[in-house]
Structure 1
């Protein structure tokens, strides 16, 4: 006989029944309803039947309200809307468009590129994302962009010609209850804390992209904006 393995440790979170509600309704055209509350014993058997009390009803209502609030909280700001946010579509499949100024970031590269990990200056960027995907572009300066602002190819690896980012094996997990601030922070974390590995589009910069980052990494050199290439799109094309 084969040995029986205990696989309980491989299960996910186990929930135990604590109580149950039974709804009774009278027959006829003018119906009336009655709700009975049951506790559960350690075996999951209903015990201690009694009419649903006001206190129990309030606890249930509060729990349901909390779940509803979470489902409608997606992309709501925690306070005053940050000035770098340009557009929000707060639907279930909502999107956010925002920009960041030139800044120093820690960057990670796979060994095959021959570029050490380290800090470097990155150009101003335009970000466009929903819960599952991200597109990024470079900007010519730190000014707040408008609909007419010309976009440039983002000078990074792992990015397709249209600007969409290949996240590889990165597990994207953005909650339905994420505020717009949490949403933006999550995408910046996913982008800058994953490893740049390969170029998906030729000639996205006016200088060899490997040489570019070798020259910038672990230095205080400002990003050379003259290497950016326009992609014949404006911000309005993303709206």
Structure 2
């Protein structure tokens, strides 16, 4: 059986000429005849340039590729909006994570036990909340303030000088990995607007968790928000 092969025929060719110095390049356009030979050379017209620009525009592809999973949809994904300016909601289970702190805070970098977390992000901003349980959250699951410095009252993260540059065609897995790196590899420094996300001194809480490597995060210290998970969806 003959395979179904798509054949492409040469349509046109471009030759770019350059001169010494700072002269602008000159582009010549050639049609191709039925034998594939260049004919009818002429300077590239505005219409031809516009047609070429449209053919080379990858924005439509990037929009379709954004947040597309590389395989089976990960179990920790809670909500997905794959549009060009879309967003993703996912959660992470309780874990030990290395945190970095600005010198002004007076706290050594180290491994800290964290509760389960709910993340919501688009290409430019991140919100993060905490969970008291360890199971996958449901629509009615209450959200708590995440136990970190550099958070606003509504869960938005102040990224400071971190240059957030999410790729326009980032896969779902790349997107999650990038935001985890931006967040956990940045330096925490202060409470924003005196917002303490826990019911105790966060500085002392971190010190205790770093000193006792067997201790899990005390979820009874988490402060509730007025939100439940479905408010993020």
Normalised to the residue count of structure 1, the TM-score between the two structures is 0.76
Query: Could you list the per-position Cα deviations for residues 75-133 of structure 1 after superposition, in whole angstroms to 9, with x for gaps in the alignment?
Result: 11111000000000111210100000001111001112221001111110000111100
Asked if the contact 1:37/1:52 (under 8 Å) is kept, the reply is no
Structure 1 runs, 4 residues or longer, greater than 6 Å off? 52-56
Matches of 1:152 and 1:52, distance apart in 2:
68
The structural deviation recorded for 1:70 is 2.7
Matches of 1:142 and 1:54, distance apart in 2:
67
Query: Could you list the per-position Cα deviations for residues 8-59 of structure 1 after superposition, in whole angstroms to 9, with x for gaps in the alignment?
Result: xxxxxxxxxxxxxxxxxxxxxxxxxxx6533223433446844277989xxx
Match of 2:32 in 1: 51
Asked if the contact 2:12/2:29 (under 8 Å) is kept, the reply is no
Match of 1:208 in 2: 201
Two-structure CA RMSD over aligned residues (Å): 2.4
Aligned residues: 200
The verdict on how the C-alpha distance between 1:40 and 1:222 changes in structure 2, with shifts beyond 3 A counting, is: same
Asked if the contact 2:66/2:82 (under 8 Å) is kept, the reply is yes
Match of 1:40 in 2: 16
Paired residues for 1:73-222 under 5 Å: 73-200=65-192, 201-217=194-210, 219-220=212-213, 221-222=215-216
Matches of 1:233 and 1:86, distance apart in 2:
16
Q: Which runs of 5+ in 2 are unaligned?
A: 1-10, 20-24, 38-51
Asked if the contact 1:131/1:174 (under 8 Å) is kept, the reply is yes
The structural deviation recorded for 1:212 is 0.7
Q: Which runs of 5+ in 1 are unaligned?
A: 1-34
Alignment partner of 1:233 is 2:227 = yes
Of 129-138 and 43-52, more deviation after overlay is shown by 43-52
